[in-house]
Structure 1
Amino acid sequence: MKFLSKLLLAAMALAPSLPTTFSATLQQVTNYGHNPGNVEMWYYIPDCIKNSVSGRPVVIALHYCQGTAHNMYAGAHDGPSFREMADKYGFVVLYPNSLNDPGNCWDVFSQKSLTRNGNWEPQSIINQVQYAVNTWNVDASKVFAIGLSSGAMMVNVLAALYPDKIAGGAVYAGAPFGCFAGNGYWNNACAEGHIIKTPQQWGDMVRNAYAYGSQRPKLQLLHNTPDEILHYNNMEEQIKQWTNVHGYSTTPNAVSYGSPTSAWTRRTYGDRLQGLTSTQYTHIFPIPADDTIAYFGIHQNAPTACTKPTPTGTAVPTSTYTSRVKKWDQCGGLQYNGPHLCEDGLTCQYVDPYYWQCKEPVTP
Structure 2
Amino acid sequence: MRTVPDTVARITRLKSGKAEPAQPRNRLFALTNFGSNPGALKAKCYLPKSLAKKPALVVVLHGCTQIPADYDAGSGWSKMADEHGFALLYPQQVRDNNGNLCFNWFLSDDIGRDKGEALSIRQMIGTMVSRHKLASERVYVTGLSAGGAMANVLLATYPDVFAGGAIIAGLPYGTASTVSGAFERMRGHGIPKSRELRAGLRAASPHTGPWPTLSVWYGTGDSTVAEANARAIVEQWRGVHDVASAPAVTDTVDGQTRKVWRDADGRDRIALYSIHDMGHGLPLNVASGYGKSGPYMLDVGISSTVHIAQSWGLTRKPASGRRRKAAAKPISARVMPADRSSPRDDKIRKAIDYALRATGLKR
**TM bracket (short chain):** 0.7 to 0.9
Aligned partner of 2:16 in structure 1 is none
Give the direction of change, closer, same or farther, for the CA distance of 1:20–1:171 in structure 2 (3 Å limit): farther
1:131 to 127, 130, 133: 127
Please give the root-mean-square deviation of Cα atoms over the aligned residues, in Å: 2.3
Give the letter aligned to residue 101 of structure 2.
N
- TM alignment of 1:220-235, pairs within 5 A: 220-235=215-230
Question: Residue 61 of structure 1 contacts residue 145 of structure 1 at CA under 8 Å; is this kept in 2?
Answer: yes
Q: Give TM-score scaled by structure 1 length.
A: 0.72
SS in 2 for 1:176: coil
Aligned partner of 2:41 in structure 1 is 39
5+ residue gaps in structure 2? 1-20, 263-267, 285-302, 327-363
Q: Distance in 2 between matches of 1:236 and 1:309?
A: 29
1:228 CA displacement: 0.4
Post-superposition CA distance 1:95-119 (Å, at most 9, x none)? 110111110000111112221001x
- TM alignment of 1:2-21, pairs within 5 A: 21=23
SS in 1 for 2:108: coil
Q: Distance in 2 between matches of 1:72 and 1:202?
A: 30
Give the direction of change, closer, same or farther, for the CA distance of 1:233–1:310 in structure 2 (3 Å limit): closer
Question: Residue 293 of structure 1 contacts residue 299 of structure 1 at CA under 8 Å; is this kept in 2?
Answer: yes
Question: Residue 109 of structure 1 contacts residue 185 of structure 1 at CA under 8 Å; is this kept in 2?
Answer: no
- Corresponding position: 1:297 with 2:313: yes
2:245 to 250, 253, 256: 250
Q: Distance in 2 between matches of 1:137 and 1:185?
A: 42
- Corresponding position: 1:272 with 2:274: no
- TM alignment of 1:1-364, pairs within 5 A: 21=23, 25-49=27-51, 55-76=54-75, 81-99=76-94, 100-118=97-115, 120-179=116-175, 181-184=176-179, 187-257=182-252, 259=253, 261-262=254-255, 264-270=256-262, 271-284=268-281, 285-286=283-284, 287-300=303-316, 309=319, 312=322
Q: Distance in 2 between matches of 1:161 and 1:43?
A: 22
Q: Distance in 1 between matches of 2:47 and 2:204?
A: 33
Question: Residue 306 of structure 2 contacts residue 319 of structure 2 at CA under 8 Å; is this kept in 1?
Answer: no
Q: Distance in 1 between matches of 2:139 and 2:22?
A: 27
Question: Residue 32 of structure 1 contacts residue 41 of structure 1 at CA under 8 Å; is this kept in 2?
Answer: no
Give the direction of change, closer, same or farther, for the CA distance of 1:185–1:290 in structure 2 (3 Å limit): farther
5+ residue gaps in structure 1? 1-18, 303-307, 317-364
SS in 1 for 2:105: coil
Question: Residue 111 of structure 2 contacts residue 117 of structure 2 at CA under 8 Å; is this kept in 1?
Answer: no
Q: Distance in 1 between matches of 2:28 and 2:167?
A: 23
Q: Give TM-score scaled by structure 2 length.
A: 0.72
SS in 2 for 1:223: strand
Post-superposition CA distance 1:46-80 (Å, at most 9, x none)? 1233xxx672000011000001112222224xxxx
Give the letter aligned to residue 197 of structure 2.
W
1:93 CA displacement: 0.5
Q: Distance in 1 between matches of 2:246 and 2:172?
A: 18
Q: Distance in 1 between matches of 2:259 and 2:147?
A: 22
SS in 2 for 1:312: helix
Question: Residue 28 of structure 2 contacts residue 46 of structure 2 at CA under 8 Å; is this kept in 1?
Answer: yes
- Give the number of the structure whose residues are more often helix, by fraction: 2
Give the letter aligned to residue 47 of structure 2.
I
Q: Distance in 1 between matches of 2:146 and 2:226?
A: 14
1:310 CA displacement: 5.6
Q: Distance in 2 between matches of 1:87 and 1:232?
A: 34
Q: Distance in 2 between matches of 1:184 and 1:20?
A: 41
Give the direction of change, closer, same or farther, for the CA distance of 1:109–1:187 in structure 2 (3 Å limit): same
Give the letter aligned to residue 162 of structure 1.
Y
1:238 CA displacement: 1.0
Q: Flag the structure with more relative contact order, 1 or 2, with Cα contacts below 8 A and sequence separation at least 6.
A: 1
Q: Distance in 2 between matches of 1:129 and 1:188?
A: 29
SS in 2 for 1:105: coil
SS in 1 for 2:110: coil
Give the letter aligned to residue 102 of structure 1.
G
Q: Distance in 2 between matches of 1:36 and 1:61?
A: 19
SS in 2 for 1:203: helix
Identity level (%): 27
